[in-house]
Amino acid sequence: MPLNLILMGPPGAGKGTQASRLAARLRVPAISTGEMLREEVKRGSVLGREAKGAMDRGALVPDALIVAIIEARLQREDCARGFILDGFPRTVTQAEALDRALQRFGWSLHRVGSLNVPSDEVVRRLSGRRTCRDCGAPYHVELEPPRRDDTCDACGGALLQRDDDHESVIAARLEVYARDTAPLLDYYRDRGLLAEIDGRGKHDDVLAALLARLNLQTSGPTLAAS
């Protein structure tokens, strides 16, 4: 049975970082809908143009659009062993659509992890977040600064701030999370799938807590679900 996981949490909780690290350990893809949408915006595709307005305001793109994207993505071959979803689902409608899609594919959800980080910490993390334009490496102006201002240590690329990480948009994103996405915690708690994890602290400690709470045990170099 594929190892299908969801990573939830408010914007800035560290979902992207932890999803990538988990994915490398579990050898399944980390699928970030935000990342997929940003790629479309960069390419200037029809989809990107449709999504950009909502993204710039910190609002959600329409459920039907994002559900279609994710259904297509889950059918790609690299998901045969499982996947880690980061940033999807974000509404109950999306969660129900995911349930139906998984049922059609004959799959089920293994666990849902939620990274808990208080709002003041989230604002500090998001407003200082920078990403390399060329290789995507993440930085933070206070917590993980580059050696040279605004320049990636790894590839020398320019470090950029995401349009929606400006303070005016952060407040809107947090409101959307509280109103539309937080109700999903109960949705998964009621199904016995939810594991809440403290998202503060060192990356390695958060990853260790995630592996333990998601019931993923080390078995040699790879991991197996217990």
73 as an active site residue: the answer is: no
Nearest approach in angstroms of CB 130 to ligand AMP is: 14
Judged by beta carbon, residue 47 or residue 54, the one nearer ligand AMP is 54
- Indicate whether 223 belongs to the interface with ligand AMP (CB under 6 A): no
173 as an active site residue: the answer is: yes
Distance CA 68, CA 87 (A): 15
DSSP state of 9: -
Which one from 21, 38, 111, 129 is the annotated catalytic residue?
129
Question: What is the number of other CB atoms lying within 10 angstroms of the CB of residue 226?
Answer: 8
Distance CA 165, CA 12 (A): 9
- Indicate whether 102 belongs to the interface with ligand AMP (CB under 6 A): no
Among 6, 13, 30, 66, the residue binding ligand AMP under the rule CB under 6 A is 66
90 as an active site residue: the answer is: yes
Among 5, 29, 84, 90, the residue binding ligand AMP under the rule CB under 6 A is 90
Distance CA 129, CA 108 (A): 34
- Indicate whether 34 belongs to the interface with ligand AMP (CB under 6 A): yes
CB-neighbour burial class of residue 77 (10 A; exposed 0-12, middle 13-18, buried 19+): exposed
Distance CA 74, CA 79 (A): 6
Among 114, 112, 86, residue whose Cα is nearest residue 215: 112
Among 8, 26, 37, 223, the residue binding ligand AMP under the rule CB under 6 A is 37
Judged by beta carbon, residue 34 or residue 199, the one nearer ligand AMP is 34
Residue whose Cβ sits closest to ligand AMP? 34
Distance CA 213, CA 194 (A): 9
Which one from 57, 162, 189, 213 is the annotated catalytic residue?
162
Which of these ranges, 31-39, 133-141, 199-207, 208-216, lies near ligand AMP under the rule CB under 6 A?
Answer: 31-39
Question: What is the number of other CB atoms lying within 10 angstroms of the CB of residue 173?
Answer: 22
Task: Name the token pair of 52.
Answer: 């950009």
Nearest approach in angstroms of CB 218 to ligand AMP is: 28
Q: Are 198 and 116 in contact (CB under 8 A)?
A: yes
DSSP state of 193: -
Q: Which residues are part of the catalytic machinery?
A: 15, 90, 129, 162, 173
Q: Which residues bind ligand AMP (CB under 6 A)?
A: 11, 33-34, 37, 54-55, 58-61, 66, 87-88, 90, 94, 164, 173
